[in-house]
Amino acid sequence: MDRMHIRLFELAAPFLDTRENGEHTRISYEFAGRLLDEEQGDPEVVFPAIILHDVGWKCIPEELQLTAFGPGKKDMNLNRVHEVEGAKIAGGILAELGYPASLIEEITEIILGHDSRKRAISKSDAVVKDSDKLWRYSDHAMNTNTERFGMTFRENLERLGRTLDAWFLTAAGRRMASERLLELESTYAVELSAEISD
Ligand SMILES: [Fe+2]
Ligand SMILES: [Fe+2]
């Protein structure tokens, strides 16, 4: 891993220590690297943005976090807090590491709208948004989200299939998500068939 990325992860770690965000961020970071092999986007923007995008969750009490994200009607004002506070925290971390002001502005702008803004403002933004959502198709998310949202594995797979077209902004992101869906079907084959016979 790039030395600067290691530093960013180190400085982000105290803020990612909630809502399984450490693992979420690590997995999204890996997807960002894969997306940048195929899609346009500035690595100088994308990697810091994805590493820091969820640091703002640390400002939201854990007992309230589940009211602010996930399927169904959610408190979007509270969700907004994680974007606004996250952009502030990220700006501080980037300044501490000596990032130029123009880069800090671009990165924090992406963080500021990573959930609430459905369209991308740049190629880098699209890659960040897709990397964030690709986590939902990981094994880690399959386990985490079924438990969090009280869903069966089948219900979660159906949800991921339904929302795929709406969520992804890049062709590579959509393709990787489809590939992951097939992989999840085989990885969780035992659990899925157990649910049918329940
Ligand atoms: Fe987020
Ligand atoms: Fe995220």
CATH number at residue 191: 1.10.3210.10
| Cα–ligand 1 centroid distance for 54 (angstroms) | 5
For ion ligand 2, residues whose CB falls within 5 Å: 54, 132
Contact (Cβ atoms closer than 8 angstroms) between residue 47 and residue 2: yes
Please write the tens of the pLDDT for every residue from 27-67.
Answer: 999 999 999 999 999 999 999 999 999 999 999 999 999 99
The ligand that comes nearest to the alpha carbon of residue 86 is 1
Q: Domain span at residue 174?
A: 3-197
The ligand that comes nearest to the alpha carbon of residue 60 is 1
Q: Is the pLDDT confidence value at 198 over 70?
A: no
The ligand that comes nearest to the alpha carbon of residue 132 is 2
What's residue 110's pLDDT? 98
| Cα–ligand 2 centroid distance for 118 (angstroms) | 14
| Cα–ligand 1 centroid distance for 89 (angstroms) | 14
Q: Determine the Cα–Cα distance for residues 187 and 190; give it in Å rounded to an integer.
A: 8
| Cα–ligand 1 centroid distance for 190 (angstroms) | 31
Using alpha carbons, list the distances in angstroms from residue 41 to 53, 125, 130, 197.
Answer: 16, 8, 12, 46
In whole angstroms, what separates CA 132 from the centre of its chain?
2
Number of domains into which the chain is organized = 1
- Confidence class of residue 72 from pLDDT cuts 50, 70 and 90? confident
- Cβ neighbors of 12 (< 8 A, separation 6 or more) are 25, 51, 52, 55, 93
Buried b (16+ CB within 10 A) or exposed e, 99-134: beeeebebbbbbbbbbbeeeebebbbbbbbbbbbbb
- Quote the strand ranges of 56-176, DSSP E: none
Please write the tens of the pLDDT for every residue from 152-178.
Answer: 999 999 999 999 999 999 999 999 999
Please write the tens of the pLDDT for every residue from 113-146.
Answer: 999 999 999 999 999 999 999 999 999 999 999 9
| Cα–ligand 1 centroid distance for 196 (angstroms) | 33
